A and B are shown apart, each in its own frame.
Chain A
């Protein structure tokens, strides 16, 4: 069975015994100090955006899952990406104007740390909005005059121009809200921006863990073999949309900058949110 346990099958190619896993996990690159990042308020509606400059970065990995192969150079034009995932409070504004069944976040009454909509917009304004389909995320982005990031844009914003396993570098650290017991948020969501040490090279927060993030692209396991070298926008057709970054129910391994996963775009889960992106004006 190929699709669901893509991870299993692909991971067969990885390390053989426990000890070698560290060689894989730690990778070969070192942290790049604190990194230099560019942050500017580029949008009039006060969404905090980060400018990711035009340039080439390495996308994918030779060392990890089969659908991350091959590692390849990708050039992206300059773009802005949300510093944080879209929050309950932000989405609530949109929902008040455009509240339809499709745009209403799912209730999670069995998860007190998330709860019901719209109550959670008041009670947990700074938490990432979850329980939205890809279509609702896209509708919000459009309303904001922006869009969802492409998969390539997401990866560059998380990874920087070097090969960082996680946004902060290659060291195993509790700098993200995962299913581990040592990150301060056991089995629950965290408000956005609670892991400043986990920021990416460009300064984006929470790109590992807390919630998976919808991207604009359809998923294909072989896309990297034939994707355009400049500004790839994903396959033309598919059943699933790519989600990135891992979440509060995932292991740290699944929260790596290259790990790819996918969901039906109509699904509304407690572990999927999104952030915004916008093409930077050409000079």
Chain B
């Protein structure tokens, strides 16, 4: 059995995922033909089973699917993978579940596994519809059904740097669904990678017509215009990327600097490039640390630095992965559990956030001499936030009170408590803590 690794695309050697381009997209590899045969065989066997056995098998299938969704909703992709795999081992012909499984693989960066699963999904769909359904006819039931699987496949091809494959698949997506902004976007990005800039402009402009606030698309569009020597349009696109992008978004400044330089405006070019340099320093630090962790996978300081930068960049999904690595290296360090909890909170996953916050508190309280009360208070505040997010107001109040007992001068603990008392219809208590919040906030400002 092949063992798949994270980011396996970095290791692959000439592996061509798409197969023979003369065939339809969903029938491109021999493996798929084998899959089709197996599928038919399994369906045949399945139909030969007595009904009581079938029913028991189906019950188990349903149970696994339900578990898969629960894992998925809670951000536990590994759990979802196990559950959906178990379901599909019992009933392999559910294209929807194959799609969800593929998405979970992609989320975990098992790219090749994701491609294989999406292709199985498309193959299953083809078998279900008998391959003769008119997918381009809005009157048919199968119209549109495969758009999202194709899109998911296109994204993974893009991640694997298989841009020609990505273009093929994503062109199908936007053909079926001209309003598919994400399809146009990734298609445009693939064209940029392939240096097909005019086509990139068309796709990215189509994407922006549908999603006019997307900084990343403006950045790509600026790059395409720059390469087409259409500098005024490039400048406008980079300006929009800065306008709609997150704080510290460096790349558009570089694009602006380049465009101004080519237009002969040295002053504006210099200003933009200096700003880019400044913003890039942070990025360089990130690069340095990621290189360090690649060469020294056990370097805890390196991982901790990466995690800190990822949190600053609001890249919480990646931060979770890195905090988990930190915890693997230093399982007794409460800070990493706390960071993990914060990342989950920002992604709106209060359950795992609560678990991590509890773990952090447990570790911190186990070493009272080395944990100052102010740090313990921070941990209680985080735990309280996770309770509040889940609607458990009373437990949240108890925990916030504990935080205030430990560090009564932190204004935001009072603010949290005030909000909760207000929600419980206890205005006097709320007012008391609002006053404390205002008082300590002004004290804090004076100190600063």
Spell out A's residues near B (CB within 8 Å).
1-5, 7-9, 11-19, 21-22, 25-26, 69-70, 106-111, 171-174, 178-183, 218, 220-223, 225-226, 235-240, 249-254, 264, 266-267, 269-271
B171, chain A: closest CB distance, angstroms:
16
In the assembled complex, B423 has its CB within 8 A of some CB on chain A: yes
Using Cβ atoms and an 8 Å threshold, which residues of chain B touch A271? Answer: 69
Residue pairs across A and B with Cβ atoms less than 8 A apart, 6 shown, are A4-B107, A17-B345, A22-B388, A182-B394, A235-B179, A252-B390
Contact A180 B391 (CB under 8 A): yes
The answer to the question of B392 belonging to the interface, with a C-beta cut-off of 8 Å to chain A, is yes
A237 to B152, CA, bound (A): 17
Q: Complex formed: what's the CA distance from A225 to B156 in Å?
A: 27
Residues of B within 8 A of A (CB): 58-59, 62-63, 65-66, 69-70, 72-73, 75, 96, 99-100, 103-104, 106-107, 114, 138, 143-149, 151-152, 155-156, 176-177, 179-182, 210-213, 314-317, 342, 345-351, 381-382, 384-386, 388-394, 412-413, 415-416, 419-420, 422-424
Q: Which residue of A lies closest to B382 (CB)?
A: A18
Kindly state the separation between the CA atoms of A111 and B66 in the bound complex, as whole angstroms.
10
Flag if A21 contacts B389 (CB, 8 Å).
Answer: yes
Question: Among A15, A19, A269, which residue has its beta carbon within 8 angstroms of that of B346?
Answer: A15
Which residue of chain A has the shortest Cβ distance to B345 in the bound complex?
A: A18
B134 smallest CB distance to A (angstroms): 14
* Pairwise interchain contact B391-A1, C-beta atoms closer than 8 A: no
Flag if B144 contacts A218 (CB, 8 Å). Answer: yes
Residue of A183, A238, A240 ringed by the most chain B CB atoms within 10 A: A238
B66 proximity list for chain A (CB < 8 A): 108, 110-111, 269-270
Contact A220-B179, Cβ < 8 Å, known A19-B415, A180-B390, A180-B391: yes
Q: Is the CB of B144 within 8 A of A239?
A: yes
Contact B151 A222 (CB under 8 A): no
A4 contact set on B, CB distance < 8 A: 72, 100, 103-104, 106-107
B209 (CB) vs chain A CBs: closest residue: A226
Contact B317 A5 (CB under 8 A): yes
A104 to chain B, nearest CB (A): 12
Which residues of A sit under 8 angstroms from B156, Cβ to Cβ? 1
B151 touches A110 (CB 8 A): no
Q: A3-B103, A238-B147, A254-B73 are in contact. Are A12 and B347 (CB under 8 A)?
A: yes
Q: Which 10 A-B pairs give the minimum distances between C-beta atoms?
A: A18-B385, A171-B423, A1-B106, A4-B103, A239-B148, A252-B391, A264-B96, A19-B412, A110-B63, A237-B144
- Contact between chains at A237 and B143 (CB < 8 Å): yes
Q: Are A107 and B59 in contact (CB under 8 A)?
A: yes
State whether A251 touches B389 (Cβ < 8 A): yes
B interface, by DSSP: helix, strand, loop or mixed? helix
Instruction: Check B423 against A173 for contact (C-beta < 8 Å).
Output: yes
A5 to B75, CA, bound (A): 8
Contact assessment for B147 and A16 in the assembled complex, using a CB-CB cutoff below 8 Å: no
Shortest C-beta distance, A64 to chain B (Å), equals: 9
Chain B residues in 8 Å Cβ range of A222: 179, 181, 210-211
CA distance A109 to B138 in the complex (A): 37
Give A272's nearest chain B residue, CB to CB. Answer: B69
A22 engages B107 (CB within 8 Å): no
A182 near B391: Cβ-Cβ < 8 Å:
yes
A2: B residues at CB distance < 8 A:
151-152, 155, 182
Question: In the complex, what distance in Å separates the CA atom of A226 from the CA atom of B393?
Answer: 39
> Within the complex, which residue of B59, B148, B210, B416 is in contact with A225, where a contact is CB–CB below 8 Å?
B210
Q: Report whether B179 and A25 are in contact in the complex, using a CB–CB cutoff of 8 Å.
A: no
Residue of B with least CB distance to A259: B348
In the bound complex, residues from chain B placing their C-beta under 8 Å from that of A14 are: 346, 348
Interface contacts beyond A3-B148, A16-B314, A18-B384: sample of 17 additional A-B pairs, CB < 8 Å, sorted by A = A4-B106, A4-B107, A5-B107, A8-B316, A19-B416, A106-B62, A107-B59, A109-B59, A109-B62, A110-B63, A174-B391, A182-B392, A226-B210, A237-B144, A237-B147, A251-B389, A264-B96
Known A180-B390, A222-B210: A240·B148 in contact at CB below 8 Å: yes
Question: Do A9 and B419 touch (CB < 8 A)?
Answer: no
Q: How far is the CA of A174 from the CA of B65 in the complex (A)?
A: 28
Shortest A226–chain B CB gap in Å is 7
Give Cα A78 to B347, complex, Å: 37
Q: Given A8-B317, A21-B389, A239-B149, A225 and B346 touching (CB < 8 A)?
A: no
For A267, list chain B residues within 8 Å (CB): 96
Chain A residue nearest to B181 in the complex (CB): A222
With beta carbons under 8 angstroms apart, the residue of B65, B146, B147, B385 that contacts A21 is B385
A246 to chain B, nearest CB (A): 10
Contact B416 A22 (CB under 8 A): yes
Evaluate contact between B314 and A12: CB separation under 8 angstroms. Answer: yes
Partner of A173, one of B143, B346, B391: B391
Give Cα A70–Cα B382 distance, bound, in whole angstroms.
30
Name the B residues within 8 Å of A218 (CB-CB). 144
Q: Is the CB of B177 within 8 A of A237?
A: yes
For the complex, what is the distance from the CA of A7 to the CA of B72, rounded to whole Å?
11
Of B62, B314, B424, chain A has the most CB atoms within 10 Å of the CB of: B62
Contact call A172/B176, Cβ cutoff below 8 A = no
Most central of B66, B342, B350, B412 by chain A CB within 10 Å: B66
* Residue contact B148 to A252, C-beta cutoff 8 Å: no
Q: Are A178 and B391 in contact, with the CB atoms below 8 A?
A: yes
User: Would you call B390 and A179 a contact (CB within 8 A)?
Assistant: yes
State A16–B346 Cα separation when bound (angstroms).
Answer: 6
Contact yes or no, A107 B62, CB < 8 A: yes
Given contacts A18-B382, A240-B148, contact A225 B211 (CB under 8 A): yes
Query: In the docked arrangement, what's the CA distance between A109 and B386, Å?
Result: 32
Given contacts A1-B152, A107-B59, A266-B96, contact A8 B391 (CB under 8 A): no
Assess the B213–A69 pair: CB atoms within 8 A: yes
